[in-house]
Chains A and B, each alone.
Chain A
Amino acid sequence: GQQLNQSPQSMFIQEGEDVSMNCTSSSIFNTWLWYKQEPGEGPVLLIALYKAGELTSNGRLTAQFGITRKDSFLNISASIPSDVGIYFCAGQLTTGNQFYFGTGTSLTVIP
């Protein structure tokens, strides 16, 4: 299967700081999705990206579809304690195929 490398693996930040994480692949994807998962829950879709270079925001979250189509980025501005969780990227090679998941970034926000 496809390998999606997500970094950093974990982050410990102060409340109010901005957060950046990324997801990279050796293959070209046509769809990138970003999710947040809290303990004991299923992942919740945050942002969906479908075009190279696309920049999409959802509140304090902004994600970008990399120009090379092999990577994607997620930024969280002015972090708050409820941002705590594991963030996953997911990529799809072509429409109709399965989604591959990144290894996850665990975010801890210190009040």
Chain B
Amino acid sequence: GAVVSQHPSRVICKSGTSVKIECRSLDFQATTMFWYRQFPKKSLMLMATSNEGSKATYEQGVEKDKFLINHASLTLSTLTVTSAHPEDSSFYICSARTPGLGPEKLFFGSGTQLSVL
């Protein structure tokens, strides 16, 4: 299957700082990537849809000024958690959709565990 790389896998930061998470599709071009947040033993909660070359589409209740998404190329999307606070601590996962008009698949990165002190 296709490979999606996500970095860093774990980050600990002080309250008030910003954290950037990268999501790369290594062997295919992804015009669309997705960012999720996951709480322990819970399902994936879609935060936003990242579209290459255009603004991201955010789900209801997700602050776009706090969770900045940039999809500057067909293989890279970034999520920046600005002015992080302890309540932002969570597991963040990205996914990339395989391109084309045919049957689609969704491949995930390995996730980033964010801990805000």
Contact = CB atoms under 8 A, between A and B. Distances in A.
Per DSSP, are chain A's interface residues mostly helix, strand or loop, or mixed? strand
A42 to B, nearest CB: 4
B111 A40 contact: yes
Nearest to B40: A39
Interface centre among A35, A42, A106 (most CB of B within 10 A): A42
A95 interface: yes
A95 B1 CA distance: 19
A32 B72 CA distance: 29
Interface residues of B, number: 25
B105 A98 contact: no
A109 to B, nearest CB: 17
26 contacts: A1-B59, A31-B104, A40-B91, A41-B111, A42-B4, A42-B6, A42-B93, A42-B95, A42-B109, A42-B110, A43-B108, A45-B106, A50-B103, A88-B44, A92-B104, A95-B101, A95-B103, A95-B104, A98-B34, A98-B46, A99-B34, A99-B106, A101-B43, A101-B44, A103-B43, A104-B42
